[in-house]
C-alpha cells in the first residue's frame, strides 16, 4: 500500500507499506542520495518470511515532496515521527542506512524512541560523518565540500563518481545504472542541503540516549562512512551489537546481502 503522509502543512512524504499484515514491522530509512527502493533486496527476502516492510522516502528524495528547506536532522527525525503516528506503528524495528542511520539515531534521542523497540544501523553516518576535534575517524570536510561543489557543477557525474565508491563487490552495469537513477530522482537542492547538513550535524550525545537493543552492521571497506564510525557507535550505544562485514563497502545491503538479510531477520526475531 502506498501513502503520502503529511509532515508539514505543505509537505508530504511517500511511504510504501509492503506486506501490511506481516507479523513484525521494520521501517526502513534510506541513505543519501537514494530512496526506499535501495532496500529491494531486503524486501524480497523478508516479505516471504512474514515481515511487514515499510519504506519511507525522506523529504526531497524519491517520491516525496521536495521543499526547499527542512533538511536538518531534527526536521528529518520529526518526519519519521509523523509517519509512525500516522500509521499507528508500535513495537517496530527502525532501520537506517548512512544518513538515514544518523537520522534514526536523532529520532531515538529527540522522540525518546517513540514506537520503536529495536534499532538497526547500516553503515551509519554517526556520530559524525566528518572529522572533528577529538574525533579523527570520519571523512574530511574537504571531501564533503568537493561533493557539494560537484553537485552544483554536474550532478549526474557526481552521482556516477559516488556510485563507484559505494560498493566493494563488483556490480553489473545494469545494476549500476539502476542505482544511479535512484539518485537522480532526488531534487538537486535536497541533495545539496543534506550534504551541507553533514558538516553541521553531530550525534555524540544522541548515542547515549538510545535505550533499545541496537544492531550495527558495517562494511570494513566502507569509503564513505569509515569503519571506525561503527566502533564509535558501538561504544556509545549501551545495548548494541556490532557485526563487521569483511567483504563489503558502503553498500553492504547488496555487497553481502545474504549475510545482511540473515543478521537483520535474526535480530528482529
pLDDT of residue 170: 96
Tell me if residue 166 falls in helix, strand or coil.
Answer: helix
pLDDT of residue 166: 98
Instruction: Please list the active-site residues.
Output: 98, 222, 250
pLDDT of residue 149: 98
For the chain, how many structural domains are there in total? 1
pLDDT of residue 81: 98
Say how far apart CA 167 and CA 162 lie, in whole Å: 10
Q: Identify whether the C-beta of residue 213 lies closer than 8 Å to the C-beta of residue 239.
A: yes
Say how far apart CA 13 and CA 173 lie, in whole Å: 30
pLDDT of residue 86: 98
pLDDT of residue 154: 98
For position 53, which CATH number holds?
3.40.50.1820
Which residues of the chain fall below pLDDT 50?
Answer: none
Question: Which residue range is the domain that position 156 belongs to?
Answer: 2-268
Torsion of CA 194, 198, 204, 209, to 10 degrees: 10
Of 35, 51, 226, nearest to 127 (Cα)? 226
pLDDT of residue 64: 98
Say how far apart CA 68 and CA 187 lie, in whole Å: 9
pLDDT of residue 254: 98
Amino acid at each position: 500500500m502506498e501513502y503520502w503522509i503529511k509532515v508539514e502543512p505543505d509537505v508530504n512524504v511517500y511511504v510504501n507499506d509492503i506486506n501490511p499484515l506481516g507479523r513484525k514491522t521494520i521501517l526502513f530509512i534510506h541513505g543519501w542520495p537514494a530512496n526506499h527502493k535501495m532496500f529491494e533486496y531486503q524486501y524480497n527476502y523478508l516479505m516471504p518470511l512474514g515481515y511487514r516492510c515499510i519504506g519511507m522516502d525522506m523529504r526531497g528524495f524519491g517520491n516525496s515532496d521536495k521543499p526547499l528547506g527542512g533538511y536538518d536532522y531534527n526536521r528529518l527525525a520529526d518526519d519519521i515521527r509523523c509517519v509512525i503516528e500516522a500509521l499507528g506503528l508500535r513495537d517496530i524495528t527502525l532501520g537506517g542506512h548512512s544518513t538515514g542511520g544518523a537520522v534514526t539515531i536523532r529520532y531515538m534521542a529527540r522522540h525518546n524512541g517513540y514506537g520503536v523497540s529495536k534499532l538497526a544501523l547500516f553503515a551509519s553516518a554517526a556520530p559524525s560523518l566528518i572529522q572533528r576535534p577529538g574525533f579523527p575517524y570520519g571523512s574530511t570536510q574537504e571531501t564533503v565540500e568537493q561533493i557539494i561543489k560537484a553537485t552544483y557543477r554536474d550532478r549526474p557525474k557526481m552521482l556516477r563518481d559516488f556510485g563507484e565508491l559505494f560498493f566493494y563487490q563488483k556490480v553489473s552495469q545494469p545494476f549500476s545504472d539502476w542505482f544511479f537513477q535512484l539518485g537522480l530522482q532526488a531534487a538537486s537542492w535536497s541533495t545539496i542541503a543534506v550534504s551541507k547538513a553533514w558538516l553541521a550535524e553531530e550525534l555524540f550525545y544522541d548515542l547515549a540516549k538510545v535505550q533499545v537493543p541496537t544492531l550495527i552492521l558495517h562494511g570494513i571497506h566502507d569509503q564513505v562512512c569509515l569503519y571506525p564510525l561503527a566502533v564509535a557507535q558501538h561504544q556509545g550505544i549501551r545495548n548494541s551489537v556490532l557485526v563487521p562485514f569483511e567483504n563489503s563497502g558502503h553498500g553492504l545491503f547488496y555487497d553481502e546481502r545474504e549475510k545482511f538479510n540473515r543478521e537483520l531477520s535474526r535480530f528482529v526475531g
